[in-house]
Amino acid sequence: MFVRHLSLGDFRSYERAELPLGPGVTTLVGLNGQGKTNLVEAVGYLASLSSHRVATDAPLVRFGAERAVVRGAVVRDGRETMVELEITPGRANRARLNRSPVRPREVLGTLRTVLFAPEDLALVKGDPGERRRFLDDLLVARQPRWAGVRQEYDRIVKQRSALLKSAQPYLSRRARGRRPRPGAEALDPASEAASALHTLSVWDQQLAGVGSQLLYARLRLLRDLGPYLTKAYDEVSNGQSDARVAYRSSLREATAGRIAAGEVPEVAELHEEVVASLAEVRDQEVERGVCLVGPHRDDVLLTLGELPAKGYASHGESWSFALGLRLAAFQLLRTDLGDDPVLVLDDVFAELDAGRRERLAAMVADAEQVLVTAAVPADVPASLAGATRRVTLGTVETDEEPAAGVPAGAAEDDGASEDDTASEVDTVSEDDGDGVDEGEQVAEADGADPS
Ligand SMILES: Nc1ncnc2c1ncn2[C@@H]1O[C@H](COP(=O)(O)OP(=O)(O)O)[C@@H](O)[C@H]1O
Ligand SMILES: [Mg+2]
């Protein structure tokens, strides 16, 4: 699949941007701070309803504006679908597919992207939450229905944690030894405790039910991803060492050990294990007021040869590992869907040595659409750049034609920009330039992937 056109309204630094794109490699070149990442972030948002840079929507809306609009024309198997999102911080997003209103979640699956950015170093060096998010995002990219399961699981953990906190006065070990004070107005602690325990057991079942499904899905995913990762890391680093992934579960030790060794127990067994593991940590949970067992406490162990990557790998190795994870995700989705996700490489070439650059270029050259950003064009290997349409931001000239406009926030209009639909970002390209009315072009589109 590929994005044929991207339109932005009040997104990040762009008051308005119209960016025609095409299959193959497109390189966005521009100085730092010109808005290259903002553009690819918008593409990622259309695919995942989230940003790779921020956890909340507020920074995505242009400073001073109320809402942002991101629109993409996505072509898959010759059919075009128009995806449109309206982002209003603090309120639910609004979404449209081919101009018909839909629930935002229904947009998932229309556009699939794999986005690699400098922030991905956190996949290796950061907290477990980064790696859980990587897995769950990939799960959703693979099968959008997991978005609902994931949301439901988060809700259950929140509610169960709140219950643990509120029931603490009745359930803690100290409270259980206490007797009602004669004449005290307080309710009978014993009956309060019984009722809290009952409610807790209901939440235990919910957590185990949804949690075991999510866990099972993650384990299957990781099992499928592993071989691609080893291969991708090998290719990027030219066979320097063996990169592997293993799941670190918060379940009881025996099960956690089997899972770490790569076993994938059935959902029913995982369900029982979650329940049994919860029972074991009940007292601790009550004392601390947090849920200590379940997919939200898990991690993915990344290893290079014998050593964990986190804490041991060099900067370059960590970088290659993160890149390897994204490339593996790309290969997995490609194989799974029989269709290439859009590959976004944000600022990656500057970080790589010449050998790694060339190998990466060779690995991605056959992807249906690759969007590359770079501050220094020379960092992008000629083997890729040679095949690209170059979109240059700011007032810099492209290979063939002078720039047609300036981005928002750049110098005052100097007369270079006549066409106001293109005034926010240059859309100069070698083989495109039909930046005609969007509405006309997508009127007959159809074919959202229902999977
Ligand atoms: N919500 C926003 N409103 C206005 N400007 C923004 C907003 N978010 C980011 N910016 C601006 O966008 C620029 C960064 O753009 P970015 O795409 O990250 O640059 P780069 O080309 O280096 O990738 C910064 O100048 C920043 O101030
Ligand atoms: Mg950037």
Q: Do the domain assignments include residue 216?
A: no
Q: Do the domain assignments include residue 231?
A: no
Atom of ligand 1 nearest to the CA of 53: 18
Confidence of residue 81 (pLDDT cuts 50, 70, 90): very high
CA dist list (Å): 299 to 45, 94, 146, 218, 244: 25, 33, 19, 11, 14
- Domain harbouring 91, CATH code: 3.40.50.300
Higher per-residue confidence, 315 vs 172: 315
Adjacent-strand bridge partners of 7: 18, 71
**Amino acid at residue number 115:** L
Give per-residue pLDDT as tens, 82-93: 999 999 999 999
Residue located nearest, by CA, to atom 11 of ligand 1: 13
CA of 63 to the centre of ligand 1 (A): 10
The pTM of the full predicted model, rounded to 2 decimals, is 0.85
Confidence of residue 248 (pLDDT cuts 50, 70, 90): very high
Q: Give the separation between CA 51 and CA 54, rounded to whole angstroms.
A: 6
The predicted pLDDT at position 418 comes to: 34
Atom of ligand 1 nearest to the CA of 30: 21
Residue located nearest, by CA, to atom 24 of ligand 1: 33
Q: Which ligand is nearest to the Cα of residue 11, counting in written order? A: 1
Residue whose token pair is 């004669």: 182
CA of 307 to the centre of ligand 2 (A): 32
Which residues sit with their C-beta closer than 6 Å to ligand 1?
12-13, 30, 32-38, 59, 61-63
Residue located nearest, by CA, to atom 4 of ligand 1: 13
Q: How many domains does the chain have?
A: 1
Which range, of 126-130, 311-315, 417-421, averages the lowest pLDDT? 417-421
The predicted pLDDT at position 167 comes to: 83
Spatial CB neighbours of 215, under 8 Å, sequence gap ≥ 6: 249, 270, 274, 294, 295, 298
The predicted pLDDT at position 393 comes to: 59
CB atoms within 10 A of CB 75: 21
Give per-residue pLDDT as tens, 127-151: 999 999 999 999 999 999 999 999 9
Token pair for 50? 């989230």
Please determine, for residue 185, whether its predicted confidence score (pLDDT) is greater than 70: no
Give per-residue pLDDT as tens, 313-351: 999 999 999 999 999 999 999 999 999 999 999 999 988
Q: Do the domain assignments include residue 51?
A: yes
The predicted pLDDT at position 428 comes to: 34
For the chain, the three-class secondary structure string (H helix, E strand, C coil) is CEEEEEEEEEECCEEEEEEECCCEEEEEECCCCCCHHHHHHHHHHHHHCCCCCCCCCHHHECCCCCCEEEEEEEEECCEEEEEEEEECCCCCCEEEECCEEECHHHHECCECEEEECHHHHHHHHCCHHHHHHHHHHHHHHHCCCHHHHHHHHHHHHHHHHHHHHHHHHHHCHHHHHCCCCCCCCCCCHHHHHHHHHHHHHHHHHHHHHHHHHHHHHHHHHHHHHHHHHHHHHHHHHCCCCCEEEEEECCCCHHHHHHHHCCCCCCHHHHHHHHHHHHHHHHHHHHHHCCCCCCHHHCEEEEEECCEECCCCCCHHHHHHHHHHHHHHHHHHHHHHHCCCCEEEEECCHHHCCHHHHHHHHHHHCCCCEEEEEECCHHHCCHHHHCCEEEEECCCCCCCCCCCCCCCCCCCCCCCCCCCHHHCCCCCCCCCCCCCCCHHHHHCCCCCCCCC
Atom of ligand 1 nearest to the CA of 36: 21
Task: Say what percent of the chain tops pLDDT 70.
Answer: 82
Please determine, for residue 451, whether its predicted confidence score (pLDDT) is greater than 50: no
Q: Give the separation between CA 157 and CA 165, rounded to whole angstroms.
A: 12
CA of 26 to the centre of ligand 1 (A): 20
Q: Do the domain assignments include residue 256?
A: no
Report whether 401 contacts 411 (CB < 8 A): no
Give, in degrees to the nearest 5, the angle at Cα 214 between 307 and 275. 95
Best substitution site from 6, 8, 10, 13 to test ligand 1's pocket, by max atoms within 8 Å of Cβ? Answer: 13
The predicted pLDDT at position 177 comes to: 62
Q: Do the domain assignments include residue 413?
A: yes
Atom of ligand 1 nearest to the CA of 346: 23
CA dist list (Å): 394 to 35, 37, 155, 230, 429: 9, 14, 44, 40, 14
* Residue 64: burial class (beta carbons within 10 Å; 0-12, 13-18, 19+): exposed
The predicted pLDDT at position 182 comes to: 59
Confidence of residue 43 (pLDDT cuts 50, 70, 90): very high
The mean pLDDT of 367-384, rounded to a whole number, is 90
Spatial CB neighbours of 146, under 8 Å, sequence gap ≥ 6: 136, 139, 140, 214, 217
Q: Do the domain assignments include residue 79?
A: yes
Which of 204, 219, 216 is CA-nearest to residue 293? 204
- CA 397 to chain CA centroid, nearest Å: 33
Please determine, for residue 411, whether its predicted confidence score (pLDDT) is greater than 80: no
Atom of ligand 1 nearest to the CA of 32: 22
Q: Do the domain assignments include residue 156?
A: no
Task: Say what percent of the chain tops pLDDT 90.
Answer: 67
Higher per-residue confidence, 190 vs 376: 376
Question: Which residue range(s) make up the domain with 360?
Answer: 1-112+342-451
Helices 128-142 and 315-337 pack at an angle, to 10 degrees, of: 20
Adjacent-strand bridge partners of 307: 304
Report whether 35 contacts 393 (CB < 8 A): yes
CA of 389 to the centre of ligand 2 (A): 19
Q: Do the domain assignments include residue 98?
A: yes
- CA 16 to chain CA centroid, nearest Å: 25
Backbone phi and psi for residue 332, each to the nearest 5 degrees, phi listed first:
-60, -45
Provide the edge-to-edge strand list for the sheet that holds 94-97.
Answer: 14-20, 2-11, 68-76, 79-87, 94-97, 100-102
Which range, of 205-209, 287-291, 428-432, averages the lowest pLDDT? 428-432
The predicted pLDDT at position 252 comes to: 96
The segment with the largest mean pLDDT, out of 196-205, 227-236, 436-445, is 227-236
